[in-house]
C-alpha cells in the first residue's frame, strides 16, 4: 500500500470548555491554534501531519474512549519532550522500559481538560508479553487508569429523577469490554 495515500490525518473532539482546551493544547503542542472561533478551535501540525479540531459541546464530551498518541523517533526526542512536559506540569504518568501493546516502550501520558489521554512514546522493539501489572488489571485500566467513568444526565434525558432537583447518574464503567485483558492498547 502506498504510504502517501492519506497525506494528513484529521481528528475532531468535543470539549466542555474551548478556552481551557486551547490553553492546554497550545502548551502541549507548543504552538498557537491555527483558528479560534466561538466554540471552535483548530490546530494544524506538520509533524506529524495532523489537523485536530475541537468543538465546544459539553453534552457530547466522552472521555475514556481510548487514547491518542505520538510516537517519537529517538530516545533523546522523548527525553526532550518529557522534560518540557514536566516543566509545564502536564505529565500524568511516566512508564520507562515497559512492555505494553506487545512492545517495549518508554512513554509518558498527559490528560487534556476533558480527560482525553495522550501517550508520547518511543518504540524500542516488539515484545512477546505485556508487563505483569497490565495482566492484573482489567482492560479498562490498561495503559493508564480511566479519568472518570460516571456522568450526570440532565433530567430531560431518558430517565426521570426521583426528585425534581435530582439528576440521575449513570456509571459507564461496566460497559467497557473486559474480555481480552491482554489487549492493552
Residues 41 and 92 reside in one and the same domain: no
Dist CA 42 CA 55 (whole Å): 9
Residues 84 and 14 reside in one and the same domain: no
Domain encompassing residue 131: 64-142
Residues 46 and 4 reside in one and the same domain: yes
pLDDT per residue, tens digit, the chain (185 aa), is: 566 678 899 999 999 999 999 999 999 999 999 999 999 999 999 999 999 999 999 999 987 778 999 999 999 999 999 999 999 999 999 999 998 888 899 999 999 999 999 999 999 999 887 766 655 554 444 454 444 434 444 444 444 444 444 444 434 333 333 333 333 34
Cell digits for 100?
A: 505494553
**Dihedral sign computed on CA atoms, order 177, 179, 182, 183:** negative
Q: Which residues of 27-58 are buried (b: 16+ CB within 10 A; e: fewer)?
A: ebeeeebeebeeebbbbbbeeeebebbbbbee
Q: What pLDDT is stored for residue 139 in this prediction? A: 45
Pairing of strands 103-111, 9-15: unpaired
Residue at a domain's end among 57, 75, 91: 57
Let me know if residue 96 belongs to a domain. yes
Q: What pLDDT is stored for residue 4 in this prediction? A: 64
Reduced to 3 states (helix: H, G, I; strand: E, B; else coil), residue 123 is strand
Q: What pLDDT is stored for residue 129 in this prediction? A: 76
Let me know if residue 44 belongs to a domain. yes
Cell digits for 62?
A: 466522552
Let me know if residue 159 belongs to a domain. no
Dist CA 67 CA 69 (whole Å): 7
Domain of 21, CATH number, reads 3.10.180.10
Number of domains in the chain: 2
Pairing of strands 169-171, 40-45: unpaired
Residues 78 and 47 reside in one and the same domain: no
Structure confidence by residue, pLDDT tens digits, 94-145: 999 998 888 899 999 999 999 999 999 999 999 887 766 655 554 444 454 4
Amino acid at each position: 500500500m502506498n504510504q502517501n495515500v492519506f497525506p494528513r490525518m484529521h481528528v475532531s473532539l468535543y470539549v466542555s470548555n474551548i478556552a481551557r482546551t486551547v490553553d492546554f493544547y497550545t502548551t502541549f503542542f507548543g504552538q498557537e491554534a491555527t483558528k479560534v472561533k466561538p466554540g471552535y478551535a483548530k490546530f494544524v501540525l506538520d509533524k506529524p501531519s495532523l489537523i485536530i479540531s475541537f468543538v465546544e459541546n459539553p453534552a457530547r464530551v466522552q472521555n475514556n474512549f481510548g487514547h491518542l498518541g505520538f510516537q517519537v523517533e529517538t530516545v533523546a526526542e522523548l527525553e526532550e519532550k518529557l522534560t518540557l512536559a514536566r516543566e509545564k506540569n502536564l505529565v500524568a504518568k511516566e512508564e520507562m522500559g515497559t512492555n505494553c501493546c506487545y512492545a517495549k516502550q518508554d512513554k509518558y501520558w498527559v490528560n487534556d481538560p476533558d480527560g482525553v489521554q495522550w501517550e508520547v512514546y518511543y518504540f524500542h522493539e516488539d515484545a512477546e508479553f505485556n508487563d505483569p501489572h497490565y495482566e492484573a488489571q482489567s482492560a479498562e485500566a490498561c495503559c493508564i487508569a480511566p479519568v472518570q467513568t460516571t456522568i450526570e444526565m440532565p433530567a430531560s434525558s431518558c430517565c426521570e429523577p426521583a426528585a425534581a432537583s435530582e439528576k440521575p447518574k449513570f456509571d459507564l464503567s461496566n460497559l467497557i469490554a473486559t474480555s481480552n485483558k491482554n489487549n492493552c492498547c
